[in-house]
Amino acid sequence: MNSKPGTAEIRRPTASGERLKKRYAAERRFRLYGLCSILAAGLMLVFLVGSIAGTGWSAFLQTYVKLSITFDAEYLDPAGTGDPEQLQNADYGALMKKNLRDNFPEVTGRSDKRKLYNFVSPNAGYVLRNMVIADPSLAGRTLDLWVKASDDVDMLAKGYVDRGEAEGNRRVSDTELGWYDKLDGADRVETRFNTDFFVNADSREPEEAGILGAVTGSALTLLITLLLSFPVGVMAAVYLEEFAPKNNWTDLIEVNINNLAAVPSIVFGLLGLAMFLNFFGFPRSAPLVGGMVLALMTLPTIIIAARSALKAVPPSIREAALGLGASPLQVVTHHVLPLAMPGILTGTIIGMAQALGETAPLLMIGMIAFIVDIPGGFADPATVLPVQIYLWADSPERAFVERTSAAIMVLLAFLIFMNFVAVLLRRKFERRW
């Protein structure tokens, strides 16, 4: 078709027949590839979470055995004085061993006795001591008590010990299997919810190990991180976005902030080790130093998220406020910052979630130490949940495997909760214009 003088001819592609079929087939293949990618990612996620849950659920249960315990006065208070100090310092370990021998009188050999003493938790003696201190009238009495089983017996009760395997290849001998079956046949074996996992700190004994110390350390560390990184990050973002002159120095600062967000986290640990520990002499393994290191790591994330949120505020709001006589500071504090706050909070929570899961920088400042106490302050020795998981994963006992997975489940629950809070904040304060 001839075009009119002075106008360009519009050439339309011929999309019919085989070409049209190929184009539609390519579109269907593209959609199929995307769907396959999503399905593959979903399957891997389900496999990962299922594997962790399948291994870790049993850590929320603990096996107990029922034993007849005699609070022999000869062990507790030989002189019969009733002195509380004497009751507190009595040899409860020996008392527990005597009661084990009394419950299994057929055990006479030295090797079998050693196995028998390991049948219950080594901390069973402390349980007896606490009971006597709470009620001194127990001296001389005999009670049937549920005592926590050792980690090997606990694994046997949960089905992790293969009875058909050769005796030399399993941690529970045939003799111990006989003791367990004897108690189980008499209904003296019971599985209870493992509350100690949530209220105890770390321990060398798997059946006594808990996550409260690590959770407390994580909370204190994140609090320091939030207090340092949030105000500094927001102020830096506001200055760069609203007040800083556009020149080469500003561009250099922006490039470096973006680069810092991609620096490996262990580099921040090395910086914390050199600056906070070696130069300033701050306490090692303390949440104070851990929070400062994580604050350095989280700052670029908060600054970038805050700048994006500030950019999203329409310029017309600034212009309207300036037109009504507001100063630049009033424009920012009264109008721009409140409107950008949902995006800033979302970015901050995502940064905090990232800090919660970090391990490498904390290893460099000594938070990998074995801490059995629950930290009471920011300067107390502490560890955090990811480091606790790392320590348990490196332990040879089978019982620590399930506790590692259980701790990962708790950590994932924290991360999901923090992301859920971020979504709620965004929806609650989001403004549309």
Other CB atoms within a 10 A radius of the CB of residue 347 amount to 24
What's the predicted TM-score (pTM) here? 0.84
Taking only Cα atoms into account, the Rg of the chain, rounded to an integer number of angstroms, comes to 32
Specify the 3-state DSSP secondary structure of 327: coil
On the CB side of 194, CA atoms within 13 Å amount to: 24
Structure tokens at 250: 């500003």
190 bridge partner residues:
64
* Per-residue pLDDT tens listing for the chain (433 residues): 445 555 666 665 555 678 888 889 999 999 999 999 999 999 999 999 999 999 999 999 999 999 999 988 888 877 777 788 888 888 888 889 999 999 999 888 888 999 999 999 988 888 888 998 888 888 888 899 999 999 999 999 999 988 888 888 888 899 999 999 999 999 999 999 999 999 999 998 899 999 999 999 999 999 999 999 999 999 999 999 999 998 899 899 989 998 988 888 899 999 999 999 999 999 988 999 999 999 999 999 999 999 999 999 999 999 999 999 999 999 999 999 989 988 898 889 888 888 888 888 888 888 888 888 899 889 999 999 999 999 999 888 888 999 999 999 999 998 888 888 878 877 777 766 6
Strands (E), 210-258: none
CB 91 within 8 A of CB 165: no
The set of long-range contacts for 92-97, using a CB threshold of 8 Å and a minimum separation of 24, is 92/125, 92/126, 92/128, 92/129, 92/132, 93/125, 95/71, 95/125, 95/128, 96/120, 96/124, 96/125, 96/128
Q: Which amino acid is at 308?
A: S
Parallel, antiparallel, or unpaired: how do β-strands 189-193 and 142-148 relate? unpaired
- Report the alpha-carbon distance of residue 128 to residue 211 in Å, rounded: 24
Determine the Cα–Cα distance for residues 65 and 390; give it in Å rounded to an integer: 31
Give me the pLDDT at residue 13, please.
Answer: 59
Residues forming beta bridges with residue 64, ordered by sequence position: 148, 190
What are the CA-CA distances from residue 81 to residues 1, 70, 125, 272, 312 (Å)?
A: 120, 19, 22, 56, 78
Phi, then psi, of 251 in degrees rounded to 5: -60, -40
8-state DSSP, 11: -
